[in-house]
Amino acid sequence: MNNATLEVVNPFDLKPIGEVKLVDWPTIDAWLNTASQLHKTRANWLPMHQRIAILKKTAQLMQGRFDELAFQIANEGGKPLMDAKVEVTRAIDGVELCIKELGHLTGTEIPMDLTAAGSGRMAFTTREPIGPVVAVSAFNHPLNLIVHQVGPAIATGCPVLVKPASATPLSCLAFVNMLYEAGLPEEWCRFAPCKSDVAEQMVTDPRVAFFSFIGSGAVGWRLKSKLAPGTRCALEHGGVAPVIVDDCADLEAMIPALVKGGFYHSGQVCVSVQRVYVPEDMATALAQAIADKASKLKVGNAILADTECGPLVNPNEVKRVEQWVNEAVAGGAQVLCGGQKLGETSYAPTVLLNPPLDAKVSTQEVFGPVVCVYGTESLSDAIAQANSLPVAFQAAVFTQKLKVALRCVREIDATAVMVNDHTAFRVDWMPFAGRRQSGYGVGGIGHTMHDMTQEKMAVIKL
């Protein structure tokens, strides 16, 4: 990175694949001023039918460039092409979901004559755009995350400035350009790749009405603490996703789910399977079954059709994962597969049995291809360990007993508990959020659109 451009590389072979111009503060300052004026002057607001037409056209353009978008995701982000295609499908569905959710973004009638004081009046609410939005995104879903942040802003009539992850700006740029091609005036959505100091100045500017952040907890909480008075926000951070396995679980169905949930995008997912709690007498066999399947996953360049696990986002992440695994092994963890770098940019899918409970792989988000299996004495012990960390996002339980499933749903500290499915399951209309240190607010397209609007009430004296 220099003062003018950001070079983008394929994270597997580190070869340059493109570049984007960095935006300086004077430019962003002018964009924020324009966005503020767009919102303040109601005559400037885009009517809903126009916003719907733009989003419909954008979805059509995305469908027409499906393969190009999937290759871009794989090429810049390292997500295997087979999974990148799924992301494009979700992103197109997400744009269309923005249109559908507009029909649910309604006000309500407020009864006034419940007491004599309100008698003779009628009241109702409407929803209107909150104002300028700044979206800061992550690298791991470089198209779909942008859709989740920018699509709701466009749908609700909020001008938006979007800063993509520095590793993956090209998918964001493609989406923004398709919005323009679909008829969105450029002042309503600005592509704003910039240095971190400029990004912080943009986020904390008092003209920002809503801040959408997807990324590390350390950065997100720090930025939240610096927001201007009145700026609303939503933060989506990571977790250390727990899975509880009951002694009657269907192992044949469970193993593929755990492998997919743990090694999808090489574990670079905020709800990736990381901690698997199993009855003590089953732990070794289950861990070995996961390892047997994980060891067969093909690691390579994500742009190749048969790659199942791509690289990590940069070489420093490979070194970090290596250090964390080595720490766990030194503390007594048993390596059942992997446990080593595969060159500068990739790490082998790794299964660890009984790492120390205070090791980094047990207490922090690995964000790499590492699944840890722990033997537990009882279901109560497993639930206690699952709830032992200051982060809480999605969790899972595998069981054929309704009583066990419902107990885990009730007692696991998580925003969602998957029964007989992995922790990384998601559809784009469901609420998606972290508790405590894992986030603030609720994601999911409809929920984000609600956050990007505000309620106004009219009280009419008859």
Point out the residues that are catalytic: 236, 270
Cα–Cα dist 367/43, whole Å = 46
22: left (phi over 0), alpha (psi -120 to 50) or beta: beta
**Contact between 212 and 448 (Cβ < 8 Å):** yes
